[in-house]
Chain A
């Protein structure tokens, strides 16, 4: 009886180790792409994410317009449109401040691309949606609150 019990425990431990190895294997591909700004995307708070994209202390600007719903019923799909009226806008970043990983994306604009980005984002809960604009080496920011009724992060 006792011997059987030992064996069962041993095989259970063995199976656990295999599962861990598989999980480790599955996680590897996330490190594949070098250009992708991993540190900024995996930052857990807004401050670190802003630092990661080189915008530690952006100036507030009224020339950035964020078009997003006041109340989003479904946090999994929140339409966001950012328009920058600042001359020489070279990149736009979008952050959802209270997401587990706040940085949504950075968009570098070159060769005639206008200061405009439209996309759809996930939001875990009600929070500010922040746009950070880089123009002529300076960073500017604006934010708009979006109320979320059903969160879009997590099952």
Chain B
């Protein structure tokens, strides 16, 4: 289920602009299947964390109200070109994934 995710990190002044796209269905668990009328089981990302050169910069808890294939953008001050950004997520079924990028 774990599909590739994409990260882009660019510098704007002394602030790194990090954009992440995760591939995930983000089922809330409250939606009904149109054909069978059964509830579609919940399947969504619960935790997203990001580090810059190993230092945690973001720790997010999210629910099913985040759109399918979640997009997340954040900014980190004091970063410089060449720094390494790692973003990882875990969902409610225990599935997880992570990706890294170098600030360019």
Write the residues of chain A forming the contact surface with B, with a CB cutoff of 8 angstroms: 23, 26-27, 29-30, 32-33, 35-37, 41, 76-78, 81, 96, 99-114, 116-123, 152-155
Contact = CB atoms under 8 A, between A and B. Distances in A.
Interface centre among B29, B42, B65, B78 (most CB of A within 10 A): B65
B77 A32 contact: no
Interface of B: 15, 19, 28-34, 39, 41-42, 46-47, 52, 55-68, 70-79, 90, 92-94
Contact residues of A: prevailing secondary structure: mixed
Interface of B is mostly: strand
Contacts of B19: 118
Contacts, number: 137
Given A118-B72, A119-B71, A153-B31, A113 B66 contact: no
A118 B94 CA distance: 25
A108 B41 contact: no
